[in-house]
Structure 1
Amino acid sequence: MNSRVGNLPALSTSFVGRQSEVTEIRTLLQATRLVTLIGSGGIGKTRLAVEAAAVSAHAFPDGAWLVNLAPVQRPTAVPGMVATALGVPDLGTRPLMEQLGGCLARRRALVLLDNCEHQADACAELAKALLSAAPEVRVLATSRRTLGLAGEHLVTVGPLPPADAARLLQDRATTARSTFTADERQRAEIARLCADLDGLPLAIELAASRLHTLTVAQVAERLEDRFALLTGDSPTAAPHQRTLRATIGWSYELCTPAERLLWNRLSVFAGGFALDAAEGVCAGDGIAPHEVLDLLDRLVDQSVVLTTDCDGVLRYRLLESVRQYGWEELASSGQTQQFRARHRDFFLTIARCVDTDWFAGGQAERLARLRADHPNLLVALDYDADPQARLALAGALIFHWCVGGFLTEGRRQLEAALAQAPEPTLERVRGLFAAVWVAQTQGDLAAADRWLDEAEPLTQRLGDPVQLPRADGFRGVSAHYRGHPQESVALYESAVAALVAAGDEREATSWRLALACVQAYAGDPRAAQSCGELISFFEASGERWGRAQVLMALGHNAWAVGDPEATKELARSALENMRGFNDHAMVARMLELLAWATSNSGEHARAARLLGAAEALWRNADTSIGAFGPWVAEQHAHCAKAAADALGREAYAQALAEGGRRNSPGQAIPYALSSDRTSAMPAVPAKALTRRECEVAELVAMGLSNRQIASRLGRSPRTVGGHVQNLLAKLDFRSRAQIASWWAANQKPTRGSTP
């Protein structure tokens, strides 16, 4: 984490009123560790919390992090949602709550737990654990009820006062209709309307969205009719709840039939969704596929659907109160099961495509998509009407679990799906092998062996020509991890030969990769040819994840045979290929290699900084260098001692701490690459660049393409390309990688990143 770190959204609408509450919350966060905003639905708790977190962010150098808990359906999923929001990989065997505490233990960060009320006990348990493990962490929560923890400070969020409510309505009305103005008579009507809406921000937003076609008086009149109709509804509900429900219901009634259908169907999504998901799940039975985008735009105009930018991709979401209304309407139509099944099947198709096309390139982007849809994946997996489909989804998400950093969640989901679908099917074989991979990645070889012992005879009984060789492959993984490389090589070779004969090139490539890497680690003379062939294949397809593994394995081999310069170049190349991935453990291993070779060149301060970054990633991954064998741990200790002896204990500790601030792959990779080339970096100050060029340079350093940068900045790809060319000319560089390295070495990031 570093300055201006975090994931707070860049909101497109202005913040109106509540300045005294913002000041109060900011003051409380300086003096206390847990602040909870209490208030009814639609009262504006989330918007207030985000604003207070944003103005307090400078006090938290390790980031302000928003965790939306509205999609969470089970208490056990709360820690996972927090880890996802913070970018903390779930890679260890310890409970995820402990992993989160360990990751945040040395951080000064603000964690914003939003929408806690339906999982209040689980949120309270998590907040207590985080505050206990991380003394510099602050928690800001929003809820309709207190968390009930000692030391919890409550801030009651009430309706907007009349003046602020009127300002909010006028501000949003101007957005809806640029020509909107308010004379004295209209100001009186605005005041009456805001009073009728009880000063509820969400109700005001919904009402204001109608002012592009109706006058204030007409909106007020129609809402009064709606309130009259609902006077008998839910007599035990609080007045604000009745007002909000009436306003949402009125907005619903003003929608066209097609808009209502889409609103209902969108309620099956959790946390947000992309356009293709809306089209894939919601089209049909009254909505043509080509109509979905237009209907979405109309719902956005009416403040029913909100938009957000996620890594250059436009995503949509519904506020929880709005989503719940649509869900009730969907249930009343008797279509809940139909659209939950569509939702599950859509994400099953996505997961299978990621699995099938894994070596075709674009892996980081695919994993980012799955990460953004993680709440939807959990909802889809909770739909257990068809146990075989649930098992298929859990197994197809194997790269999301193992490479995307969700091992504990993946294991839980696979165990549950396997228990629910015990039939001896091919889907069970796939699920068992997925569970084996997860357990092996966690280092739990005993559990992996148990699942293998079930899967192997089942594959033999079913006789599937693709699944049979996978048993040999996974046996080879266990042999490798137990220190038997020759046995591993033989098993991998058997798997590759059988899969080639079966005609499954995708699966054969997986085990070719495993074979080439173990040959390189073992010093097998065939490694150079095996690795070279794979690298050529991966370069042709644009694949980077497997390429990075091969380069790292060759780097270890180069170090073992005493070639530090080759080690350094191979480690650099491996790191370049890991841009955009969130694999903490793999990047840490590459940093270790680079540190050893750098120390060998006498650059002990740089080596110490690289070790510090690696150690931070080890901690985040809930593992250590020792997990990869005694030889690797010995090399780490030797490098650390050489650096400490050369620098002195105090300077070594400072260098280690400096590197440790780069505690995510997104920060550590450009830092490591730039630190090796610092002497060659031109001392071009930021003032020599325009503000836009600085923004583009930072986004290039984050690994974004011209198209993604264009989407982020609201410019055309051609314009962004011009900025990149200007940067190359001013800095006298030839590649984007040099821009990224220069930025990491010379500038302070201004955008969010992961811890």
Structure 2
Amino acid sequence: MAVAGPPSGVVTFLFTDVEGSTRRWEADAEGMRAALAAHDEVLRSVIAAHGGILFKHTGDGVCAAFFAPRPAVDAAVAAQRELGLPVRMGMATGEAELRDGDYFGPVLNRTARVMAAGHGGQILLADSTAGLIGGVDLLDLGLRRLRGVPVPVGVFQVRAAGLREEFPGLRALKPSAGNLRAAVAGLIGRESDLAEIQAAVRAHRLVTLTGVGGVGKTRLALAVAAQLEDEFPDGIWVFELAAISDPAALPDAVATVLGVTRQADTSVSESVAGALDGRVRLLVIDNCEHVLDAAADLIEVILARSATVRVLATSREALAVADEHVWPVPTLDVGAGINSTAVTLFVERAQAVSPEFSVDQAEVAGPVVEICTRLDGIPLAIELAASRMGSMTPGEVRDRLDQRFRLLVGTRRALERHHTLRHAVSWSYDLLSGTEQSMLQRCAVFAGGFDLDSACAVAGSDDLDEYAVLEVLDALVRKSLLVADRSAAQTRFSALETIRQFAEEQLVAGGSSAEVRGAHARYYAEREAGIISRWDGPRQREAYDWLTVELSNLRAAFRWAADQRDLDVAGTIATWTAWLGFWMHNYEPTLWAEELLEPARAAAHPRLAFLYSMASSCWWPGRIEAAVGYSDAGRLVFDSGRDEVPFGLDGLLGAAYLHVGQPERQVDWCRARLALGRDTHGITRAFLTIALAVAGRGEEARAAANGLIEVAEATGNPAALSFALYAYGYAFGDADPAVALDAQRRGLVIAQQSGNRNTETRIAGSLARLEADYGDPLDALDYVALAVRSFRDAGNTSMMRFPLTVLVAIFDRLGRDEPAATIAGFAVSPLTETANPEFTTATSHLREVLGEVAYERQARRGAAMSVAAIATYAYDQINQAQTELNASSHQPPWG
């Protein structure tokens, strides 16, 4: 195809790159030279044949420009079919300036980042290109954050005959988009409110929406948040406090949603605030009124620590926090009669239950206007009234209001609106049958929602089987007293908080609260066998997802059982949820296990050994001293022969010894436990392998590792297999780097696919060192970034220092002396000084190169940085290093 000249204006760019070229050059330079020549010829001819301009070579890749997206895609597909090397390709479309034969503009950086996210043989498109083409088979890989690109980019993979389709996960991060869900129903009569509150959030760091219960504060806050989503690149996070009954539990609940781990020597609130530092996020904190002081305290800590976080809160009264902007949410307009927003809402909700409903007739319009007026335009009360239009007329509802809503005596200004709403809820509740009332009361014990199975568990009657319970729940949904969320595979029910609180009051007044809460706690304890069975197989991620969904209920169930000193129930919940949480980087249940140690020890409880094992995992968030104490005490329990733990996880108990320079204690412990023949999943053997390697007993470590992968594979358990692959690679790291790299790369994919964030982070840190020593420095930097980000996102600053020590060693080799010294200043700690010999070597070398004074100056700078600042600095420095390596054809300077 002939072209008149190079494209200009809006251009589609195609960038390519040979994956793993460094290793290929080192292994066979002559063969690589010939292969690259053939590679260049294929790309040159294909690009020209499709009307493109090849305007730059980048070592082992090219940059090409096209007039339109489709020829660029066709050229990429044709090239991939002919190329003999693993080439990754990326495309993006946008405006670019052509100057002196080269192009300039943000779209080029976006193209490079899209390409860098892929793998050899993969063709990736940015959404700017994908949206302009048709007739191409595209796989939507979702939004991704790309280095140097300020907003998340939609990434698509091209699929075509003759091309490989399956690839590992992208080398880019999913956007931290928070947990804001799309609104279920639109707002009526709130257009001006939306605009004003958005302006308030932009102008003030804390905006609190106040008003009577049921006025629509939550829905309005979520709608505002949805419209501001693009202004908060680190996401909008919603915290529903309604399920929290204990103010002291509020920081833990917020930390759990954010995935933040409490740090040593700090409070949970301070750990949360530290994790948020530097993040541009909007926190929507809903229903603060019943934990007002606790919410205010947490918000004060967050705002004092982070200048980039904003908070939108809802409460029935102001939080009384400094610089709080209070925005009273008004009730809906009723003054315009049939044309009022209150009547519009009534009609919309009435038509949901009775499609033929209309206010065209005076005999309907009059009573509807009166209902809305008498309910003072409170949305929830209006919706409750409208929900009766399936079985009553507006006149009948109006007449019932006369009987049931006895307002306080006084002027309209003195009216207690919450009392009005309570009458509305009471009136709706009184219309229920006895069975419906009982079910609504009993379901009030659930925190964060429930499903059909859990509702059956608290139903309290042998006459109510699954189908009978479903019928009652369906009736409560139709009457707007429960909400059914069908967005997931299994329907989940919940109640508006005002209704849930009212039902809970009725439950307590009826004297059944203890019985139902006991049933609730036992139900979640009895989930152990089913969920652990799901964990122990290919559906493992489902177990982690279930824990995430049910954590509020598990917290409430544990708290009730622990307060009632029911060690059987509390111990069961604490152990298996802590075990799942261990693999997920969620250590809240570890605290539950710690809480039960003393009463369980006094009672010689059969779960005592399991409790000690899980309590000892507190070394992960940095509580090493406590972990060692639990390990010492737990060994005595194990040695007594009274207790066992599942899956042969005995080796977990001694893991803390590795972090106090006592690997031999872990070696002896693991060998003693292995002699009992209970290591069904190879977990203790994996711990032994790691301990031997740490102790410097390489041959013994490799002997222990031989056959370990086969044992783990036979279980079909992704956690066991990925952990075995990690241990295997750890043992063979220096003795056979190629084998170690292959094992841990495979383990990383398995860990990521199955949701094992703990192992994913371990392997990323290990691969970073292996790639730095024996592989591709670009990959090494990617793995460091992954490990740092994982710990950073979990708020685990203690462990975040470990991958940073690897980064220091890499930067030292690359000659990036000042960044290395800066990061070393932050990374150094009593734990890291001895854990990574290469870190010690690197810092000694840096002192020689920079001089003692200059080194200490840079190190002090790093030590003074906040977690957010050092993470941002590390990412930026990694990005710069990768850019420089790309420019030098990936050749590592250390050979």
Q: TM-score range by the shorter chain?
A: 0.7 to 0.9
3-state DSSP class of the match of 2:243?
coil
Given that residues 698 and 731 in structure 2 are in contact (C-alpha distance below 8 angstroms), is that contact kept between their aligned partners in structure 1?
no
Name the structure 1 match of 2:657. 479
Residue aligning to 2:389: 211
The corresponding residue for 2:319 is: 147
Would the alpha carbon gap of residues 354 and 182 (structure 1) be closer, same or farther in structure 2, given more than 3 Å must change? same
Measured in 1, the distance between the counterparts of 2:727 and 2:652 equals 19
Check the 8 A contact 1:91/1:405 in 2, yes or no: no
Check the 8 A contact 1:90/1:621 in 2, yes or no: no
CA distance in 2, matches of 1:182, 1:455: 72
Partner of 2:505: 328
Q: Deviations 1:364-395 (Å, cap 9, x if unpaired)?
A: 22122122112112211221223323344323
C-alpha distance in 2 between matches for 1:236 and 1:467: 64
Name the CA distance, whole Å, in 2 between partners of 1:597 and 1:459.
Answer: 36
Distance change >3 Å, CA 422–CA 595, structure 1 → 2: closer
Q: Deviations over 1:35-79 (max 9, x none)?
A: 000111111100000000100111101101110011112222112
Alignment of 1:347-358 (within 5 A): 347-351=524-528, 353-355=530-532, 358=535
Larger Rg: 2
Tell me how far apart the structure 1 counterparts of residues 377 and 590 of structure 2 sit (CA, whole Å): 46
Instruction: Report the CA distance between 1:608 and its aligned residue.
Output: 3.6
1:264-663 to structure 2, matched below 5 A, reads 264-282=441-459, 284-308=461-485, 312-351=489-528, 353-355=530-532, 358-383=535-560, 384-388=563-567, 389-407=569-587, 409-419=588-598, 423-427=602-606, 429-430=608-609, 432-434=611-613, 436-457=615-636, 463-464=641-642, 466=644, 473=651, 476-500=654-678, 509-519=682-692, 524-525=698-699, 531=705, 533-561=707-735, 563=737, 565-579=738-752, 586-599=759-772, 604=777, 607-623=780-796, 635-642=806-813, 645=816, 660=875
Find the aligned partners of 2:272 and 2:870 in 1 and give their Cα distance: 25
Whole-angstrom distance in 2 between the partners of 1:644 and 1:582:
36
Per-residue CA shift, 1:408-447, capped at 9, x if unaligned? x335433443455563322462464145423343443432
Q: How many residue pairs align between the two structures? A: 652
Aligned partner of 1:121: which letter?
D
Deviation at 1:115, TM superposition (A): 0.6
Aligned counterpart for 1:95 among listed residues 255, 267, 270: 267
SS in 1 for 2:492: strand
Gap change, CA 1:449 and 1:637, over 3 Å in 2: closer
Aligned counterparts of 1:237 and 1:460: Cα–Cα separation in 2: 70
Give the Cα–Cα distance (whole angstroms) in 1 for the partners of residues 473 and 292 of structure 2: 32
CA 1:244–1:173: 2 relative to 1, 3 Å: same
When residues 544 and 421 of structure 1 are mapped into structure 2, their CA distance, relative to the original with a 3 A threshold, is closer
Deviation at 1:203, TM superposition (A): 1.3
- Per-residue deviation, 1:127: 0.8
Two-structure CA RMSD over aligned residues (Å): 3.9
2:378 aligned to which of 189, 200, 208: 200
Contact 1:89 1:620 in 2 (8 A): no
- Structure 2 CA distance for aligned equivalents of residues 470 and 547 of structure 1: 14
Match of 1:261 in 2: 438
Amino acid paired to 1:579: Q
Residue 247 of structure 1, aligned match among 415, 424, 436: 424
Distance 1:317 1:203 in 2: 18
Q: Is the Cα–Cα contact under 8 Å of residues 308 and 314 in structure 1 kept in the other structure?
A: yes
Structure 2 stretches lacking a partner, 5+ long = 1-144, 146-150, 153-174, 335-339, 824-861, 863-868, 890-895
Which amino acid in the other structure matches residue 546 of structure 1?
A
Q: Percent identity, please.
A: 29
Pair 648,413 (structure 1): closer, same or farther in 2 beyond 3 Å: closer
Q: TM-score, normalised by structure 1?
A: 0.77
Change (3 A) 1:177 1:429: same
- Pair 1:219–1:529, CA change in 2 (3 A): farther
Change (3 A) 1:448 1:84: closer
Deviations 1:68-123 (A, max 9, x none): 01111222211222122223345766422222222211210000010111111111
Residue in structure 1 matching 2:331, options 159, 171, 183: 159
Structure ranking higher in helix proportion: 1
Which whole-Å deviations, capped at 9, do the CAs of 1:10-48 have from their partners, x for residues lacking one?
A: 232222221111111110111110000011111110000
SS in 2 for 1:11: coil
Answer yes or no: is the 8 Å Cα contact 2:183–2:223 preserved in 1: no
Q: 1:215-255: CA deviations, max 9, x gaps?
A: 22222222332225x879xx999532222112211221222
Partner of 1:108: 280
Query: 2 CA distance for matches of 1:535 and 1:90?
Result: 33
Gaps of 5+ in 1: 664-671, 680-755
Change (3 A) 1:488 1:553: same
| 1:424–1:458 contact (8 Å) kept in structure 2 | no
Give the letter aligned to residue 187 of structure 2.
F
C-alpha spacing 1:350/1:135, structure 2 compared with 1 (3 Å) = same
> C-alpha separation between the residues in 2 aligned to 1:480 and 1:64?
39
Provide closer, same or farther for how the CA distance between residues 464 and 640 of structure 1 changes in structure 2, counting only shifts above 3 A.
same
What SS class does the counterpart of residue 314 from structure 2 fall into? strand
Query: Which residue number in structure 1 is paired with residue 241 of structure 2?
Result: 69
The offset of 1:557, in angstroms, is 3.6
TM-score (norm 2): 0.66
Change beyond 3 A, Cα 1:572–1:589: same
Deviations along 1:538-573, one digit per CA (max 9) or x if unpaired, are: 44444212222222233334432362x444433332
CA distance in 2, matches of 1:585, 1:236: 57
For 2:809, the aligned partner's letter is H
What amino acid is aligned across from residue 478 of structure 2 in structure 1? Answer: D
Deviations along 1:112-141, whole A, 9 cap, x unmatched? Answer: 010111111111111111112221110000
Cα–Cα, structure 1 residues 262 and 274, in superposed 2: closer, same or farther, change >3 Å?
A: same
More strand by share: 2
- Partners of 1:49 and 1:612 in 2: CA distance: 35
1:587-619 CA-to-partner distances (Å, cap 9, x unmatched) read 333333444455568855554444333322233
Judging changes above 3 Å, is the alpha-carbon distance between structure 1 residues 279 and 161 closer, same or farther for their aligned structure 2 residues? same
Q: Classify 1:62/1:309 alpha carbon distance in 2 versus 1 (closer, same or farther; 3 Å).
A: farther
Q: 1:604 to 1:490 in 2, by over 3 A?
A: closer
Evaluate the alpha carbon distance shift between residue 155 and residue 413 of structure 1 in structure 2; reply closer, same or farther with a 3 A threshold. same
User: Are the equivalent residues in 1 in contact too, given 2:289–2:317 (CA < 8 A)?
Assistant: yes
Q: Check 1:140–1:27 CA distance in 2 against 1; reply closer, same or farther (3 A cut).
A: same
Helix, strand or coil: the match of 2:311?
strand
Pair 245,622 (structure 1): closer, same or farther in 2 beyond 3 Å: closer
Greater relative contact order (CA < 8 Å, ≥ 6 in sequence): 1
Query: Secondary structure of 1:433's match?
Result: helix
1:263-319 deviation digits (Å, cap 9, x = unpaired): 011001112122221122225255223322222122112111113357654322111
What SS does structure 1 have at the residue aligned with 2:491? strand
